[in-house]
Amino acid sequence: MSLKTHLAIDEDLCGRVTRHEKGYAEVWLHTSERMKADDRGLIHGGFLFSAADYAAMAAVNDPNVVLGAAEVKFLAPVRKGQSIRFVARIGESSGKRRRVEVSGEAEGRRVFEGAFQAFVLPRHVLEG
């Protein structure tokens, strides 16, 4: 199964899809200097959110999928140089709505969890 969505993503900032099946995706984010929030190496949570969002969109895998809402928890800090594995699974599907559960783990420790509400639209969100 080939990836059909978010094909222009910058994998250095949003992670890389390493496994992809119907209703399921894994994204690995390798944190870098560019993602630091401070001089101690704390990674800004926005990069974790971005990788989790990318995993959710890849699990849906439709060219017209968009994020509508998200409820997330940052469970532990991430340091520069750590790699995070995000796993996304579609939990519910009703009409155009998909609820995707995403978890993130670094070095055997859960660092992120969230529920993403995605919508599959009949055409691209930027089309008039």
pLDDT tens-digit map of 10-24: 999 999 999 999 999
| Residue 6 belongs to some domain of the structure | no
| Residue 128 belongs to some domain of the structure | no
Instruction: Please state, as a whole number, how many other Cβ atoms lie within 10 Å of the Cβ of residue 106.
Output: 20
pLDDT tens-digit map of 83-120: 999 999 999 999 999 999 999 999 999 999 999 999 99
- β-bridge partners, 75: none
| Residue 59 belongs to some domain of the structure | yes
Average pLDDT, the chain: 97
| Residue 34 belongs to some domain of the structure | yes
Q: Pairing state of beta strands 109-120 and 24-30? A: unpaired
| Residue 69 belongs to some domain of the structure | yes
Looking up residue 61, the CATH number of its domain turns out to be 3.10.129.10
Identify the pLDDT of residue 128.
Answer: 67
Q: Identify the DSSP state of 56.
A: H
Q: Percentages helix, strand, coil for the chain, rounded to the nearest 5? A: 20, 50, 35
Question: What's the structural domain count of the chain?
Answer: 1
Residues of the domain holding 107: 11-120
Identify the pLDDT of residue 1.
Answer: 75
> Which band of pLDDT confidence, cut at 50, 70 and 90, is reported for residue 61?
very high
